[in-house]
Amino acid sequence: ETLMENENVEDVDLFVAITDDDEDNIMSCLLAKKLGATRVLALINRRTYADLMHGTQIDIALSPAQATLGELLAYVRQGDVQAVHSLRRGVAEAIEIVARGDAKTSRAVGRRVGSLRLPRDVHIGMIVRGLPAPDARNTNGSETAERDEEERNDEQVEVIVPTSGTIIQSNDHVILFLPNKRLVHEVEALFRVGVTFF
């Protein structure tokens, strides 16, 4: 408690406890929250403990097993799904999918969010625009040039909370929340490009 007070834990936006001991992580997060930390994250290995933490003062109970599941789901998903996070004990999902193509080859690119034929109860939570393509690499081998490129990319990145009038652009990273993982195939189909794109 004294250490947290000395470190001004009441001023932090996010307190993270990631030791090897679940109990230490839980208790330190609860204490940090009590002392005024805005949000707290606890690494919890035991699934029983992680389940118990839902609905408590711990904002994020991170389970390595769930994180690994998300990586596996992203691998098996089709199209340009970049990341998948399992929610509500695997019932729901949050996915990050990249919009590809153009207005002719895609059912999403060039269209307003309000006009997309998303399945019922699927919501777009955020759009990240201006991220570099994963295969875009600096070929001259200069570390300074790489840093300059990263700084330029950081300046161009835009995080958008979409409205119904927001237009999806090519290479937008779209974060969607799906209340049921059975809807994933419909969402993937919506963002899949036509054969004329290739």
Write the pLDDT tens digit of every residue in 121-148.
Answer: 888 988 989 987 654 444 444 444 455 5
Identify the weakest region by mean pLDDT among 4-18, 54-68, 113-127: 54-68
**Residues 196 and 104 sit within 8 Å (Cβ to Cβ):** yes
SS3 96: strand
pLDDT band at 154 (very low <50, low <70, confident <90, very high): low
How many Å apart are CA 195 and CA 198, to the nearest integer?
6
Alpha carbon of residue 11 to chain centroid: 25
182 torsion bin: left (phi>0), alpha (psi -120 to 50), beta (else): alpha
Residue 39 makes CB contacts below 8 A (sequence gap 6+) with 13, 14, 15, 59, 60
Longest dimension (CA), the chain: 64
pLDDT band at 32 (very low <50, low <70, confident <90, very high): very high
Complete domains list, the chain, with CATH: 2-62 (3.40.50.720), 66-197 (3.30.70.1450)
pTM listed for this prediction: 0.52
